[in-house]
């Protein structure tokens, strides 16, 4: 399986009342800081807040490969804005996942 390009999928779980606060933080701080580091924003999606359950906000980033991501990681972890964003964001979400996705090898399916 070819591990490139990389899609980094963050799924952030928040209570419905925090949905807009987290989206605002992402728009104003999280997305700019990651784009400054070189990551490409593929999309940002949210489940509906009116279902009587937690809201999941899914942010997908893309970069060429792991060598490229390593350089981008250096950029964001040395950026004070990333530290500030992370501090605020971690107070809003109560769970979630971060997973790296690669092109699924459908061509290898018999």
Partner 1 sequence: MTMLRRYEIYSVDPNAPKDLLARMDESMRHAQRWIPEVLHSAIGMNKSPVGLHFVWEHGYEDSEAYKRYMVHPFHANVYDRYLLNDSPERLVTNNPYDVGLVGFNVEGPQYFLPSGYARRVVMARLKKGTEDAFRALTEKEKAANPKMVLSLLAENTFGTRWMDGVTKMLDDTTYSHIWEQGYKTLADAEAASTAWQKEAADMIEDGKMIELWYELETGHGYDNDAAAAMRSHGLEHA
Among 70, 54, 61, residue whose Cα is nearest residue 16 = 54
Q: At residue 86, what are phi and psi to the nearest 5 degrees?
A: -60, -40
Taking the CA atoms of residue 72, residue 75, residue 78 and residue 80 in that order, the dihedral angle to the nearest 10 degrees is -110
What single DSSP character describes residue 91? H
Distance CA 68, CA 85 (A): 22
The residue among 45 and 100 lying less far from partner 1, judged by its C-beta, is 100
Residue in 99, 105, 107, 108 binding partner 1, rule: CB under 8 A: 99
> In angstroms, what is the minimal distance from the CB of 74 to partner 1?
6
Residue in 20, 35, 42, 74 binding partner 1, rule: CB under 8 A: 74
Distance CA 105, CA 19 (A): 35
Residue in 77, 81, 103, 105 binding partner 1, rule: CB under 8 A: 77
77: tokens are 């972890």
**Taking CB under 8 A as the criterion, which residues in 21-60 touch partner 1?**
30
The residue among 20 and 77 lying less far from partner 1, judged by its C-beta, is 77
The residue among 49 and 79 lying less far from partner 1, judged by its C-beta, is 79
Binding residues (CB under 8 A) for partner 1: these are 3, 6, 10-13, 30, 66-67, 69-70, 73-74, 76-78, 82-83, 85-87, 89-90, 93, 95-100
């Amino acid at each position: 399986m070819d591990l490139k390009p990389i899609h980094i999928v963050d799924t952030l779980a928040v209570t419905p009342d925090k949905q807009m606060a987290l989206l605002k933080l992402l728009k104003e701080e999280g997305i700019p800081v990651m784009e400054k580091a070189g990551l490409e924003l593929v999309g940002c999606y949210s489940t509906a807040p009116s279902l009587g359950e937690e809201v999941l906000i899914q942010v997908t980033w893309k970069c060429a490969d792991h060598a490229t991501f390593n350089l981008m990681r250096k950029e964001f972890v040395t950026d004070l804005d990333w530290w500030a964003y992370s501090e605020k964001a971690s107070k809003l979400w109560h769970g979630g996942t971060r997973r790296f996705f690669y092109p699924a090898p459908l061509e290898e399916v018999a």
